Amino acid sequence: MTQPQPTNANGTPSLLLTTNIMARFKPAKVFTDAVEQPAQEQTGRKPSSSTQITGLTFDDRGETLVTSGGDETFRLYNTKTGK
């Protein structure tokens, strides 16, 4: 017997994101020039050689991406343009 697919509050099917499922995801587009290194005078900290993204989320329509970085910054991106 198969289990029913979980749904959210408005009845849309939802998916439980397990480690196994997350490992199957692949980036649809890579934004190579998207990460800018802030100048030291803007942040008060020494610029790092790379910034790690510690979290990300998309808006409901998938048009905007918000990332949080290890340098305590949030960045907004337009998913269509990558900027």
Quote the CA–CA distance of 26 and 17 in Å, as a whole number: 14
Which residues 6+ apart lie within 8 Å of 70 measured at CB?
Answer: 51, 52, 53, 54
Q: Residues 51-67: pLDDT tens digits?
A: 688 888 898 888 899 98
Q: Residues 4-33: pLDDT tens digits?
A: 667 777 788 777 778 887 778 776 666 666
What pLDDT score was predicted for residue 6? 73
pTM over 0.75: no
